[in-house]
C-alpha cells in the first residue's frame, strides 16, 4: 500500500481557452474540476498504474466532502483529518493557442494545533499498512516548517521509506530528516543550493551533495528537458522524454513521483523506474487536467523515454 499526505488539499479547476487576454471575457472550451493538491495528484497516478493507495492529509469544509467523493470514485481511499476552515481552490487557465498555463492558487486554511496532532495520530495508524509514504506539496497556515521532518521521523520508526516533494523551508527542514528520496525541480534545487545551476553538470553536482546515508535518491525534474537522478548505490542518470504535444505541464512533477512510486512497488530497477516516472510526467503534460492521463499512455511514453548513465 502507498500512502500519500497532502497537507494543503484543494479543489483543482482547469479551464481551456483560446488566446487568454487580461481584461476580456472568455468562454472556456473545456472545464475540469477534481480533487487536487500534490499528494492527491500522486495518488491518482499510483492508482492508475494499478496499486492500492490511501490519500491522507488535511481538508476542510464542503471542499473536503468533494475531495473524498472524487477520490473514492477513482478507487482511492480518502482518509483525511477534517479541519475547521475551508480548503482552498486552485485555478489553472490553459491557453492552447499560446501554449501557456496561468495559475491562481489560494493559500489554504488556518490549521489548529489540535488538528495537526490528529493528523500525526492518523498517520501513525496508517503506517502499519504502508510500504511507501509520499509527502508532497505546500503547507497551509498554522503548520510549522518542520512538519515533514516530523512525519519522516514517524515513518522511520515504523521502517517505512519516504519520498519528499516540497519547497523552500519545509524542504530544507525535511532534508535534515533524510527521506529515502527527494524530488525537487530545478528551481527548488537552485533555491536549496543558493545559486543558479548549469544543466547537467551543476545540477548533478548539487544532487550528489544531497545524497547521503538515508537519502538514497535525488530526482531532479527539469521540465521538457527531462530529469537528472543521483543515487547512493545505483549510479547517476540523465532522462530525456519523448516529443509530445504539450497541453499543460501542471502536475507533471507529481506524475513523475507517482510513476516512480509505482515502479518501486513493482520492484523495477533504477533505469526502468526513471523511465516510468518520465513517461508519467510526459503523459500528464500531454493531457488536459492534472494527472488525468491513462495507464496505456504512461507506459507507451515510458518505453520511448531515453535513460542514460552519467559518468
Could you tell me what percentage of the chain is helix, strand and coil, using 3-state DSSP and rounding each to the nearest 5?
40, 25, 35
Q: Which of 112, 124, 120, 126 is nearest to 55 (CA)?
A: 126
Q: Residue-wise pLDDT tens for the chain (311 aa)?
A: 999 999 999 999 999 998 888 888 888 889 999 999 999 999 999 999 999 999 999 999 999 999 999 999 999 999 999 999 999 999 999 898 888 889 999 999 999 999 999 999 999 999 999 999 999 999 999 999 999 999 999 999 999 999 999 999 999 999 999 999 999 999 999 999 999 999 999 999 999 999 999 999 999 999 999 999 999 999 999 999 999 999 989 999 999 999 999 999 999 999 999 999 999 999 999 999 889 999 999 999 999 999 999 96
Cβ burial of 107 (10 Å; 0-12, 13-18, 19+) is exposed
Distance from the first to the final alpha carbon of the chain: 35
Total structural domains in the chain?
1
Strand order in 100-105's β-sheet?
30-36, 10-17, 88-95, 100-105
User: Whose grid coordinates read 491513462?
Assistant: 294
Question: Quick one: cell of 150?
Answer: 516530523
pLDDT at 214: 93
> Which domain range does residue 276 map to?
2-310
Cis peptide before 74 (omega within 30 of 0): no
pLDDT at 291: 94
Q: Which pTM was predicted?
A: 0.95
pLDDT at 231: 98
Going through the chain in order, the beta strands assigned E by DSSP cover 2-6, 10-17, 30-36, 53-60, 77-83, 88-95, 100-105, 132-136, 162-165, 181-182, 217-221, 227-231, 236-240, 306-310
pLDDT at 307: 98
Cis peptide before 200 (omega within 30 of 0): yes
Q: Which of 39, 42, 41, 20 is nearest to 29 (CA)?
A: 20
pLDDT at 22: 84
Q: What is the pLDDT of residues 162-221, one digit of tens each?
A: 999 999 999 999 999 999 999 999 999 999 999 999 999 999 999 999 999 999 999 999
User: Whose grid coordinates read 490519500?
Assistant: 55
Residue 86's CATH number: 3.40.1190.20
Across-strand partners of 227? 221, 239
Amino acid at each position: 500500500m502507498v500512502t500519500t499526505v497532502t497537507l494543503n488539499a484543494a479543489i483543482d479547476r482547469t479551464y481551456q481557452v483560446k488566446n487568454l487576454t487580461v481584461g476580456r471575457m472568455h468562454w472556456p472550451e473545456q472545464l475540469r474540476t477534481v480533487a487536487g493538491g500534490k499528494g492527491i495528484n500522486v495518488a491518482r497516478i499510483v492508482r492508475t498504474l494499478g496499486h492500492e493507495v490511501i490519500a491522507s492529509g488535511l481538508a476542510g469544509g464542503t471542499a473536503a466532502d468533494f475531495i473524498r467523493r472524487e477520490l473514492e470514485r477513482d478507487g482511492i481511499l480518502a482518509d483525511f483529518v477534517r479541519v475547521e476552515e475551508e480548503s482552498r481552490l486552485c485555478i489553472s487557465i490553459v491557453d492552447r493557442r499560446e501554449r501557456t498555463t496561468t495559475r491562481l492558487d489560494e493559500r489554504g486554511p488556518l490549521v489548529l494545533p489540535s488538528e495537526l496532532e490528529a493528523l500525526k495520530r492518523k498517520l501513525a495508524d496508517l503506517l502499519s499498512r504502508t510500504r511507501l509514504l509520499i509527502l508532497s506539496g505546500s503547507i497551509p497556515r498554522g503548520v510549522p516548517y518542520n512538519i515533514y521532518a516530523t512525519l519522516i521521523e514517524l515513518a522511520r520508526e515504523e521502517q517505512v521509506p519516504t519520498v519528499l516533494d516540497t519547497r523552500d523551508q519545509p524542504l530544507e527542514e525535511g532534508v535534515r530528516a533524510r527521506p529515502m528520496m527527494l524530488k525537487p525541480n530545478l528551481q527548488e534545487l537552485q533555491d536549496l543550493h543558493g545559486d543558479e545551476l548549469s544543466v547537467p553538470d551543476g545540477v548533478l553536482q548539487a544532487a550528489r551533495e544531497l545524497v547521503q546515508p538515508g537519502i538514497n535518491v535525488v530526482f531532479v525534474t527539469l521540465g521538457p528537458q527531462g530529469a537528472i537522478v543521483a543515487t547512493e548505490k545505483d549510479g547517476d542518470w540523465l532522462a530525456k522524454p519523448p516529443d509530445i504535444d504539450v497541453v499543460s505541464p501542471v502536475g507533471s512533477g507529481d506524475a513523475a513521483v507517482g510513476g516512480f512510486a509505482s515502479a518501486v512497488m513493482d520492484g523495477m530497477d533504477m533505469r526502468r523506474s526513471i523511465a516510468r516516472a518520465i513517461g508519467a510526467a510526459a503523459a500528464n503534460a500531454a493531457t488536459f487536467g492534472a494527472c488525468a492521463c491513462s495507464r496505456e499512455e504512461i507506459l507507451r511514453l515510458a518505453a520511448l523515454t531515453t535513460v542514460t548513465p552519467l559518468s
